[in-house]
Protein backbone atom coordinates (compact mmCIF):
# COMPACT_ATOMS: atom_id res chain seq x y z
CA UNK A 1 0.00 0.00 0.00
CA UNK A 2 1.21 3.49 -0.79
CA UNK A 3 1.28 5.85 2.19
CA UNK A 4 1.38 9.55 1.51
CA UNK A 5 1.75 12.33 4.06
CA UNK A 6 0.35 15.57 2.64
CA UNK A 7 1.25 18.76 4.51
CA UNK A 8 0.62 22.43 4.14
CA UNK A 9 3.83 24.46 4.04
CA UNK A 10 7.50 23.67 4.05
CA UNK A 11 9.35 22.12 6.94
CA UNK A 12 11.77 24.79 8.19
CA UNK A 13 13.39 23.25 11.27
CA UNK A 14 16.47 21.22 10.28
CA UNK A 15 16.09 18.70 13.11
CA UNK A 16 12.55 17.96 11.92
CA UNK A 17 13.72 17.64 8.30
CA UNK A 18 16.38 15.19 9.47
CA UNK A 19 13.80 13.18 11.43
CA UNK A 20 11.41 13.09 8.47
CA UNK A 21 14.19 11.80 6.21
CA UNK A 22 15.14 9.20 8.83
CA UNK A 23 11.63 7.79 9.20
CA UNK A 24 10.96 7.85 5.45
CA UNK A 25 14.09 5.68 5.09
CA UNK A 26 12.90 3.41 7.90
CA UNK A 27 9.50 3.01 6.22
CA UNK A 28 10.94 1.85 2.87
CA UNK A 29 10.92 -1.89 3.69
CA UNK A 30 7.27 -1.69 4.77
CA UNK A 31 5.50 0.78 2.50
CA UNK A 32 5.85 2.96 -0.54
CA UNK A 33 5.95 6.17 1.51
CA UNK A 34 5.81 9.67 0.08
CA UNK A 35 5.98 13.05 1.81
CA UNK A 36 4.46 16.05 0.01
CA UNK A 37 4.46 19.69 1.05
CA UNK A 38 1.93 22.04 -0.54
CA UNK A 39 2.44 25.78 -0.60
CA UNK A 40 0.70 27.30 2.39
CA UNK A 41 -1.22 30.55 2.32
CA UNK A 42 0.29 33.64 3.89
CA UNK A 43 -1.46 34.87 7.00
CA UNK A 44 -1.31 38.54 7.88
CA UNK A 45 -3.81 38.57 10.72
CA UNK A 46 -5.45 35.86 12.83
CA UNK A 47 -8.88 37.07 11.69
CA UNK A 48 -7.89 35.76 8.23
CA UNK A 49 -7.57 32.20 9.55
CA UNK A 50 -10.92 30.91 8.16
CA UNK A 51 -10.08 32.24 4.68
CA UNK A 52 -6.56 30.75 4.88
CA UNK A 53 -7.92 27.33 5.93
CA UNK A 54 -10.50 27.42 3.11
CA UNK A 55 -7.89 28.25 0.45
CA UNK A 56 -5.58 25.55 1.78
CA UNK A 57 -8.50 23.08 1.72
CA UNK A 58 -8.89 23.77 -2.00
CA UNK A 59 -5.23 22.93 -2.58
CA UNK A 60 -5.53 19.77 -0.48
CA UNK A 61 -8.63 18.64 -2.39
CA UNK A 62 -6.80 19.01 -5.72
CA UNK A 63 -3.85 16.96 -4.41
CA UNK A 64 -5.89 14.01 -3.11
CA UNK A 65 -6.01 10.88 -5.27
CA UNK A 66 -9.62 9.86 -6.01
CA UNK A 67 -9.61 6.37 -4.48
CA UNK A 68 -7.34 7.01 -1.51
CA UNK A 69 -8.31 6.41 2.10
CA UNK A 70 -7.95 9.96 3.45
CA UNK A 71 -7.00 10.43 7.08
CA UNK A 72 -7.18 13.99 8.42
CA UNK A 73 -5.18 14.89 11.50
CA UNK A 74 -7.26 17.03 13.81
CA UNK A 75 -7.25 17.57 17.56
CA UNK A 76 -10.90 16.47 17.71
CA UNK A 77 -10.20 13.16 15.98
CA UNK A 78 -10.02 9.67 17.38
CA UNK A 79 -7.02 8.90 19.57
CA UNK A 80 -5.18 5.59 19.30
CA UNK A 81 -2.59 3.76 21.32
CA UNK A 82 0.31 2.62 19.15
CA UNK A 83 -1.13 -0.91 19.02
CA UNK A 84 -4.60 0.40 18.11
CA UNK A 85 -3.10 2.52 15.35
CA UNK A 86 -1.23 -0.53 14.02
CA UNK A 87 -4.50 -2.48 14.07
CA UNK A 88 -6.26 0.34 12.21
CA UNK A 89 -3.48 0.53 9.60
CA UNK A 90 -3.49 -3.25 9.15
CA UNK A 91 -7.28 -3.31 8.64
CA UNK A 92 -7.01 -0.63 5.95
CA UNK A 93 -4.25 -2.61 4.21
CA UNK A 94 -6.24 -5.85 4.41
CA UNK A 95 -9.30 -4.12 2.94
CA UNK A 96 -7.45 -3.83 -0.36
CA UNK A 97 -6.92 -0.08 -0.15
CA UNK A 98 -4.08 0.83 -2.47
CA UNK A 99 -3.32 4.29 -1.14
CA UNK A 100 -3.70 6.05 2.18
CA UNK A 101 -3.17 9.79 2.52
CA UNK A 102 -2.59 11.47 5.89
CA UNK A 103 -3.38 15.19 5.74
CA UNK A 104 -1.73 17.68 8.11
CA UNK A 105 -2.90 21.27 7.98
CA UNK A 106 -0.83 24.40 8.19
CA UNK A 107 -0.31 26.76 11.11
CA UNK A 108 -4.05 27.52 11.22
CA UNK A 109 -5.12 23.87 11.09
CA UNK A 110 -7.49 22.18 8.66
CA UNK A 111 -10.69 23.57 7.25
CA UNK A 112 -13.81 21.71 8.36
CA UNK A 113 -14.40 20.61 4.76
CA UNK A 114 -11.21 18.52 4.88
CA UNK A 115 -12.14 16.73 8.10
CA UNK A 116 -15.75 16.28 6.95
CA UNK A 117 -14.67 14.67 3.67
CA UNK A 118 -11.95 12.48 5.19
CA UNK A 119 -12.75 8.82 5.71
CA UNK A 120 -10.98 8.89 9.09
CA UNK A 121 -10.08 11.73 11.45
CA UNK A 122 -7.40 11.08 14.04
CA UNK A 123 -5.65 13.05 16.77
CA UNK A 124 -2.00 12.43 17.46
CA UNK A 125 -2.53 13.38 21.07
CA UNK A 126 -4.59 15.59 23.32
CA UNK A 127 -1.52 17.80 23.40
CA UNK A 128 -1.07 20.49 20.76
CA UNK A 129 1.94 20.15 18.44
CA UNK A 130 3.28 22.54 15.85
CA UNK A 131 2.24 21.47 12.37
CA UNK A 132 5.91 20.74 11.66
CA UNK A 133 6.32 18.56 14.75
CA UNK A 134 3.11 16.68 13.87
CA UNK A 135 4.79 15.53 10.64
CA UNK A 136 7.64 13.89 12.50
CA UNK A 137 5.39 12.34 15.16
CA UNK A 138 3.10 10.87 12.49
CA UNK A 139 5.98 9.35 10.52
CA UNK A 140 7.46 7.82 13.66
CA UNK A 141 4.08 6.33 14.58
CA UNK A 142 3.64 4.95 11.06
CA UNK A 143 7.02 3.25 11.35
CA UNK A 144 6.12 1.96 14.81
CA UNK A 145 2.79 0.63 13.50
CA UNK A 146 4.46 -1.27 10.69
CA UNK A 147 6.98 -2.81 13.09
CA UNK A 148 4.12 -3.89 15.37
CA UNK A 149 2.26 -5.41 12.40
CA UNK A 150 5.39 -7.28 11.28
CA UNK A 151 6.39 -8.34 14.82
CA UNK A 152 9.67 -6.44 14.72
CA UNK A 153 11.41 -5.45 17.98
CA UNK A 154 11.23 -1.64 17.55
CA UNK A 155 8.15 -1.39 19.75
CA UNK A 156 8.50 -2.69 23.31
d(C-alpha 137, C-alpha 124), whole Å: 8
Q: Average pLDDT, whole number, for the chain?
A: 95
Which pLDDT value is given to residue 45? 84
> Do 61 and 55 touch, CB atoms closer than 8 A?
no
d(C-alpha 145, C-alpha 71), whole Å: 15
Name the pTM for this structure: 0.95
Alpha helix (H) residue ranges in 9-155: 14-27, 49-63, 82-94, 112-117, 131-150
pLDDT digits (tens, 9 = 90+) for 16-62: 999 999 999 999 999 999 999 999 998 888 888 999 999 999 999 99
d(C-alpha 84, C-alpha 134), whole Å: 19
List of domains in the chain: 2-41+49-130 (3.40.1280.10)
Amino acid sequence: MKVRVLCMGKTHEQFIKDGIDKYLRYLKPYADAEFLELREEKIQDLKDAPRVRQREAEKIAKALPAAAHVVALDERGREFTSHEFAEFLNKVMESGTREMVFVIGGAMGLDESVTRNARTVIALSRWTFTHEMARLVLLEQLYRAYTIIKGRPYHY
